[in-house]
Chain A
Amino acid sequence: MAQVAVRLEDVHVDYPVQAGATRKILYGIDLEIESGEFVSIVGQTGCGKSTLLRLILAEEKPTSGRVLVGGRERSQPDRYCGYVPQRYSLFPDKTVLNNVTFGPEVTGLNGFSRLTPEGRKRLREYREDAMRYLRHTGLMDADARKYPHQLSGGMQQRVAIAQALIMKPPVLLMDEAFSALDPGTRAGMQRLIHELWRESGTTIVFVTHNTREAVCLGTRIIALAKEESGEQGSSVALDLSVPHANFDSDEEEIRRLIGEVEAATLPRSASGDACSQSVAVHAGSSD
């Protein structure tokens, strides 16, 4: 039986808006993510996808309920979860190579130990390791000396992925990581992350508003949807296992899945039905 990497138990998240009043963001989320899964989380804007990710990161605390990552509740983000955000993913003051070696250095070398022969040897190893990861994510050796602002958006995200993966995190969280990229670069990055996931077996939680991306990348899709009145917050509207869907799947099958997922993300009436918008209009229309 596969190990559970992430578990959310009856999680509710409310944000205070005015004196005494709160806005419900997430409502009664129960979720189990097993090790090695590639979970895509989709939903309309403002439905709480990123909040869910921040809960798993332990950057935010639930109003009620429990979030267990690696079997325990965490008080702040740590190296158990790697993180690739949409923006500001790299440290602008460090070169590409130093961005990638930052994690190993900060955890493996302390104080002046980098000045010792042993420290210098380890630093060399970290750099070689980082270069391997950079090459693996499609970057050239010359890029290692560049600063982040000298790279394109796609290259920056490649570095961010290398930076996260070099720490070998059991869980990798990606928050709209490819949203700012042009379609061509985005397609390349999707294939890259899928390949890296297959090789490493890391659990990936991938938040996106792009349904096609979610369907083609994930082995499981979780759709969040709000109640129509917006008073109750979002809950899991669909939890769909799609182990065989990928970019090479039959287009008809992908369209069918997109339609199903998009229907689930529509705001629901109090009775739980999706609101009466045409699913056919949305099916396959994602960018």
Chain B
Amino acid sequence: MSDPSVAGIDWSSCPTPKSNYDRILLGHGSGGRLTNELIERVFVPAFDNPILAALEDQATLNLAATNGGAAGGLPRLAFTTDAFVVQPLFFPGGDIGRLAVHGTVNDLAVGGALPQFLSAAFILEEGLPIDDLKRIAASMRAACDEAGVQLVTGDTKVVDRGKGDQVFITTAGIGIVPPGRNLSIRSVRPGDKILVSGTLGDHGITIMSVREGIEFETALESDTAPLTSLVQAMLAACPAIRWMRDPTRGGLASALNEMASAAGVGVELVESTIPVRNEVHAACEMLGLDALYVANEGKLVAVVPADDSEKLLGTMRAHPLGQNAAIIGTVVDEHPRMVLLRSLVGGERVVTMLAGEQLPRIC
């Protein structure tokens, strides 16, 4: 693999092709390139500030700094928010409420923070059965208890029938970042190892299997789970962990592409080491999808110095949420900002950022 610029593209200042769409498409919510474009074109310019510009899944707030430096001893806070739209509301392994708690908890946890408090805003569609809402609330409470957080404030709005899709939930969360803890996407170094905590694509394929118009029978369940205790066990065993991310929408491929870009490094993955369940594999084959791009809700990807990788793998596998953990690749000097995958039969391919939605293939 030689200098990428040979192909005529100056990759160091890659001109991301600008979308020519003047309306929002579903692809803008895919977590891939269209989503990033929206963030870069609309939101970053509108709210420009150094904390947002870090573009991590959570903002880290230094209260001492915002308080004129007079608040000695105040902890750093991690702050994040996430919106949830999923159909059906209830699916094997979870529901929209559980997802709304875990999503925000996990965004905090993978930054090394201890999640503490959540808020929740509900947009309800006229006609929603109250029993469904009760079921969602109970499920959220159970998820909060499991994750060790409290839901302390909220809001409710109702929209006309047909103007929403039963329930939309937005949660926000605050966590405390222990002193001395500095996980950062830019601290990733060539030579580091890349680990995932388990099988990829379980959540996305589960949702697809019960979605109207596609239904297929499978024993799959969503992997939605709070990652706090796994993350804390990992950091206790291996404080040198550089960076973690929960690869939700857009999947592992998007998370690693973002890392490669932000850290200016290359990534090499070995296809045979990436854990994917047979059921997910089969569904992806059937629908023409790629598990590397399918959403997860209870998995994380971690980057760690090579010397610590085996120890970290042992710690992860000893945890109930990390039993299928695996070392799947290496951070490299070569081909910066590019994720390469060594295929099962020994060929090589580039794993790019998803352009729009993954569209099922015709045949």
> Do the two chains belong together in a single complex?
no
Which residues of A are at the interface with B, using a C-beta cutoff of 8 A?
none
